[in-house]
Chains A and B, each alone.
Chain A
Amino acid sequence: MGAGRYNALALLRGAITGHRHWGRAWRAAEPRGPYDVIIIGGGGHGLSTAYYLAKVHGIRRVAVVEKGYIGGGNTGRNTTIVRSNYRQAPLQSLFEYSLKLWHGLSDELNYNVMFSPRGALFLGHSDADMARLAERGDAMIANGLDADLIGRDEVARLVPLLDMSPGARWPIEGGLIQRRGGTARHDAVAWGFARAADSLGVDIIENCEVTGFLREGNRVTGVRTTRGDIAAGRTGICVAGNSGHVAGLAGIKLPIESHTLQAWVTEPVKPMIDTVVMSQTLHCYFSQSDKGGMVGGGDPDFFPSYAQRGAPIRLEDSIAQSIALAPALSRLRMVRSWAGVTDMSFDGSPIIGELPLDGLYLNGGWCYGGFKATPGSGSVYAHLLATGQSHPLAAPFYLNRFADGRTIDEVGSGPMPQSR
């Protein structure tokens, strides 16, 4: 199973033997049910769920079924930002739990996920922005998170690229920085979890699309797939972007709409910025990858779509904003832009809990902010799938909160995903 432990000695050995000894990082597993748990969706969240099921809960008869290939969905399409700087306590606690896991993740998985806590900076462009950031910072500190409200001079020192001139299109008054936030290599996160889960006996079944559910009355007993029926004790949907579609196969409607979110990357250049810069007032964000490309993004496309491609107008918005903030970006050539399908929930917060059918669970609705939650989401979902009980951190994110009037709406925009 797997390729043994990765370490310096194995690298040295490869230096002599021409690196021909490296095996597959995970097996190409065939379906061989019944399983205790089937996880639908081999993205970061699904794979981390499988890993924690096997590692923490000792449940090793686990399959992850993925319609495409590992790392081919939203895990490889996000802008890799990791942070926990939310305003509301349930979101703070969930994302902070995840952030803590990020800090030890490479060691935990024996796989370099290139997590780089380089600081996640929200910019403030006006007095009102600064008041809003101060409120958020206070809420974070009150819940034990790190947040520093910094002035204009400190922002200029941290990010010399920013336009601080009197004629700047978007004046910068200051910012709120979470220094433990940063970025990670998103593919490595999926590959690392896949390899670690596989080494614990989890079957990762790629090119296996779920086409329906096996049912006994009100109980789900497995999945129908393009590679045959697979039986399971518990089935967990973990397909953010396609939650509505997969839940629809079980006849369930969710408070989720699928929208398109685009991102872009420039040609690689020498280090020019070592912080993640975000503006929520404008809604753009950019950082530099370890390869050197400037990676950025902005608003989603404001209407429902599963197309995985977006309109140039939204791309133009985020690039124009980024260039206005950091004019030097205008000298770089953009080499790629792409889009992912986001699971826009109707309060902007994820949904982690049981569905109306017995044995069927959901982890989805992460909107455009799921990547940062990858380890934490998997950990709390594994708890739910192992015990049938919600993890305390996930309990507020149950499906029926919408009917109960207990929505967790960070921006207060109501059931209008296009307004987030």
Chain B
Amino acid sequence: MLLIPCPHCGPRNQEEFAYERTLDSVVRLNDAPELAIATLYARANPRGQEHEIWSHTCGQWLRLTRDRISHAIHSVEPL
């Protein structure tokens, strides 16, 4: 189980959080179609560290740097 430190509420149970997408997969409104498609669909999916966007039930959006093998959370910042 993950214990995720919400910047607003402090450490909370994983159950209260939802993974959204990777930080590099947010499509900008004025992106060219090729870039938008790559952003939507291409993932590095690394066996290791990745930057991710999560949300907390309190409404806070988080930027999580997390290891996808050890599940260690290296940093959490408000987004």
Question: Which A residues are closer than 8 A to B by beta carbons?
Answer: 242-245, 248, 253-258, 302-307, 311-313, 346, 402-403, 415-416, 418
A sample of 25 inter-chain contacts (CB < 8 A) reads A244-B44, A244-B45, A244-B46, A245-B47, A253-B42, A254-B42, A254-B43, A255-B41, A255-B42, A257-B43, A302-B18, A303-B52, A303-B54, A304-B19, A304-B45, A305-B68, A306-B47, A306-B68, A307-B70, A307-B71, A313-B1, A346-B40, A403-B37, A403-B41, A418-B19
Q: Which residues of A contact B15 (CB under 8 A)?
A: 313
Q: Which residues of B contact A248 (CB under 8 A)?
A: 44-46
B45 near A257: Cβ-Cβ < 8 Å: yes
A305 near B71: Cβ-Cβ < 8 Å: yes
Q: Is B2 an interface residue (CB 8 A)?
A: yes
Add 19 more A-B contacts to A253-B42, A254-B45, A402-B41 (CB < 8 A). A244-B43, A244-B45, A245-B46, A245-B47, A253-B38, A253-B44, A253-B45, A254-B42, A302-B18, A302-B19, A304-B52, A305-B69, A305-B71, A307-B69, A312-B1, A313-B14, A346-B40, A403-B37, A403-B41
The 5 closest A-B pairs by CB, nearest first: A244-B45, A303-B19, A253-B42, A255-B41, A402-B41
A307 near B68: Cβ-Cβ < 8 Å: yes
The total number of A-B Cβ pairs within 8 Å is 68
Q: Please measure, in the bound complex, the distance between the C-alpha atom of A243 and the C-alpha atom of B40, giving whole angstroms.
A: 18
Q: Which residues of A contact B40 (CB under 8 A)?
A: 346, 402, 415
A258 near B2: Cβ-Cβ < 8 Å: no
A-contacting residues, B1-46, CB 8 Å: 1-2, 14-15, 18-19, 21, 37-38, 40-46
Contacts known (A311-B1, A403-B37, A415-B41); A242 close to B18, Cβ less than 8 A: no
Q: Please measure, in the bound complex, the distance between the C-alpha atom of A242 and the C-alpha atom of B46, giving whole angstroms.
A: 9
Q: Please measure, in the bound complex, the distance between the C-alpha atom of A303 and the C-alpha atom of B22, giving whole angstroms.
A: 10
Query: Would you give the shortest CB distance from B74 to chain A, in whole angstroms?
Result: 15
Q: Which residues of B contact A306 (CB under 8 A)?
A: 47, 68-69
Contact of A255 among B14, B43, B70 (CB under 8 A): B43
Contacts known (A304-B68, A402-B37); A258 close to B19, Cβ less than 8 A: no
Query: Which residue of chain B lies nearest to A243 when distances are taken between CB atoms in the complex?
Result: B45
Please indicate which of the listed interface residues A313, A403, A418 has the most CB atoms of chain B within 10 Å of its own CB.
A403
Contacts known (A302-B18, A311-B14); A258 close to B41, Cβ less than 8 A: no
Query: Would you give the shortest CB distance from A208 to chain B, in whole angstroms?
Result: 18
Q: Which residues of A contact B44 (CB under 8 A)?
A: 244, 248, 253
A256 near B43: Cβ-Cβ < 8 Å: yes
Q: Which residues of A contact B38 (CB under 8 A)?
A: 253
